[in-house]
Amino acid sequence: MSLTNASQKVVGPDPKAGLLTQRERIASTTQSQESWNTFKTWMWTCISKHSQCSPKSLEVRQRQLPKRLIEVSEGNTVRLRTVESIGDAYAIEYLALSHCWGLGPRVILTSSSAASLFEGVEIAALCRTFQDAIMVTKRFWDEFAVRYLWIDSLCIIQDSAEDWRQESANMGEIYQNAFCTLAATAAADGHRGFFSDRDPRMISPCSISVVPKNGENRPFYCVDYEDWAKNVSRGPLNGRSWVLQERLLSPRVLHFGADQLYWECSGLEASEAFPAGFPEGLGEQFKQLLPFSGLPQIEQQGPSSRGPYGIWDQVMETYSSGKLSRRTDRLVALSGIARKLQRRLIQHDTYLAGLWKQDLPFELLWDVKIPPQKPDAGHEYIAPTWSWASRLATVPCETETWASAATLVDITGAMVVPLDNDHMGQVRGGYIRLSGVLARGTLSRIHQPGSPTPGLALKIGDRTVSSAICRPDDGFSPAIQLPHVVYCLPILRGTRNLVPRYKGLFLVPSGRQAQFRRYGTFTADSFGDEFLVSCPPSWLDTGDLGPDRRYEVTIV
């Protein structure tokens, strides 16, 4: 809990309002009308005052819309419509739903159900979350003249791989072009819906009178400092990887939390308890990472600044910690953010399976946050081993130590092979070719005092690199067999306390000449030449040593 000075404008629901004894419905109760009025204020403020939350005229003319939308009417049914059948695509406004599938909705769009959905479906036949989304859309129709709704499972043909690939590639545009996104933030599945029983007094900050030594009576508010984090950032919905771009790219998001509404746009974070905005330190400023319209404020001061690539680091780390129902969605569910960054900030760079070519020496040095206890049993190809997308819960290279380090490799070639025409979506192959020093070594397990997990020692030639910190992507479990040989590829060289420090990749041979797979990363201090002089050629592994005493190797 935290005490907030009352001089900050904090307005809550009427503390005299009674306990709601029935399920709160925006459509019917007095208290719900108060919630709706609060939301209308947020929306009209955003539309009229937040230039950073509105698309530019050029973007409106060029915007891509989904193939299908749900048309909401006054009756008890809704129907699916194609955008072409509606009329002027540039004038169409629609809402988008962000939700957790859970066990799956009862009604979905398939090849066999399409005809009945285009004819019309009873609202009561849909899951609770869909029913609530439709009810809210009706209120939008009355207030903002928005009568269309996009729901993934009702607007994408679920048994058509082709339709799913086309629409999933457009997913970022779908949310970016929505008038507003309705987020079922507190719902782990479609059965909970948007709303819940609540005592409206519980969301009103508690006023406490504090009498300091000077005798002046000053009121303070007692508020939950973790409110936004618990009910939005860590809500059930935001544990899904797909939701990152849904939330980040949408111009505005209305979160239906556990006991109140939350608002999020590039200009405001608010709740019913704090309708004018959260006091400093209580919100998240999540959408400032990539404002809907306009560019983020990129700090250019200090050696740790990485400009737009620093933004990508934050996106990647947040995204990779989320959950996906299908591993093959790993790159697809991030493609919308990658497209926006390329359009706005990294126009002249090439996107390579989750990494950017001009920043490869730095971005290749990601680590696995929590190594698995056993190798990943998945058989689907997700990404090349050098891409963080090939692993779960990855983190970027630490900025403070290495952002100003010298680069020890040259990128001589890079390519990914997309599964279809979407070069930012799913891939079926790829490689990076680079020139650098290769040091041949071995890894062995060592006891770590006070830890049940053994550590790893690195030996290059007959010399043990005592300072080496080894981070294998597959983890440290004794059940995992260590490779017979590893090759150290130093990529960055910095200093710590005037001692040279190296960070690079562990590589293992793939079985083809001069071709390797990533095994992990290492960090080591060294005054010696372990990471400056290439090992003698091993024809099957390394190929020929170049005249510059470096190898050109390919990582797949």
Tokens of 119: 């004819």
* Those residues with Cβ within 8 angstroms of residue 467's Cβ, 6 or more apart along the chain or in another chain: 524, 525, 526
pLDDT over 60 (residue 14): no
pLDDT at residue 31, rounded to an integer: 53
pLDDT at residue 380, rounded to an integer: 85
pLDDT over 60 (residue 249): yes
pLDDT at residue 105, rounded to an integer: 75
pLDDT digits (tens, 9 = 90+) for 338-348: 998 998 888 89
CA separation for the pair 279, 294 (Å, rounded) = 24
Quote the mean pLDDT of the chain.
Answer: 86
pLDDT over 70 (residue 5): no
Question: Shortest CA distance to 341 belongs to which of 306, 361, 312?
Answer: 312
pLDDT at residue 56, rounded to an integer: 64
pLDDT at residue 188, rounded to an integer: 92
pLDDT at residue 201, rounded to an integer: 74
Residues in the chain: 556
Who wins on pLDDT, 152 or 19?
152
CA separation for the pair 368, 384 (Å, rounded) = 15
pLDDT over 70 (residue 297): no
Q: How confident is the model at residue 291 (pLDDT cuts 50, 70, 90)?
A: low
pLDDT over 60 (residue 427): yes
pLDDT at residue 300, rounded to an integer: 44
Who wins on pLDDT, 283 or 292?
283
pLDDT digits (tens, 9 = 90+) for 508-553: 999 999 999 999 999 999 988 999 999 999 988 999 999 999 999 9
- Estimate to the nearest angstrom the gap between the alpha carbon of 328 and the chain centroid: 16
The rounded percent of the chain whose pLDDT value lies above 90 is 62
The rounded percent of the chain whose pLDDT value lies above 70 is 88
Tokens of 34: 């108060």
pLDDT digits (tens, 9 = 90+) for 393-414: 899 998 877 878 999 999 999 9
> Contact at 8 Å (CB) between 275 and 36?
no
pLDDT at residue 304, rounded to an integer: 47
Q: How confident is the model at residue 420 (pLDDT cuts 50, 70, 90)?
A: confident
pLDDT digits (tens, 9 = 90+) for 138-174: 999 999 999 999 999 999 999 999 999 899 989 999 9
pLDDT at residue 60, rounded to an integer: 58
Provide the greatest CA pair distance for the chain: 85
CA separation for the pair 321, 184 (Å, rounded) = 20
Residue whose structure tokens are 């020692």:
457
> Contact at 8 Å (CB) between 404 and 303?
yes
pLDDT at residue 62, rounded to an integer: 67
Who wins on pLDDT, 222 or 485?
485
pLDDT digits (tens, 9 = 90+) for 363-380: 999 999 887 655 555 678
pLDDT over 60 (residue 499): yes
CA separation for the pair 288, 364 (Å, rounded) = 26
Q: How confident is the model at residue 181 (pLDDT cuts 50, 70, 90)?
A: very high
* H or E stretch at 339: helix 335-344
The SS3 assignment for 395 reads strand
CA separation for the pair 176, 196 (Å, rounded) = 28
pLDDT digits (tens, 9 = 90+) for 101-134: 887 778 999 999 999 999 999 999 999 999 999 9
CA separation for the pair 201, 17 (Å, rounded) = 7
The SS3 assignment for 138 reads helix
CA separation for the pair 298, 307 (Å, rounded) = 6
pLDDT at residue 28, rounded to an integer: 38
Q: Can you give the pTM of this predicted structure? A: 0.86
Who wins on pLDDT, 301 or 472?
472
pLDDT digits (tens, 9 = 90+) for 441-497: 999 998 877 777 778 999 998 899 989 999 999 988 888 899 999 999 999 999 888
The SS3 assignment for 507 reads strand
What are 502's strand-pairing partners? Answer: 493, 524
pLDDT over 90 (residue 430): yes
Q: Which residues of 100-117 are buried (b: 16+ CB within 10 A; e: fewer)?
A: bbeeebebbbeeebeeeb
Instruction: Give the torsion through C-alpha atoms of 177, 180, 184, 185, to 10 deg.
Output: 90
Which of 132-141, 216-225, 312-321 holds the top average pLDDT?
132-141
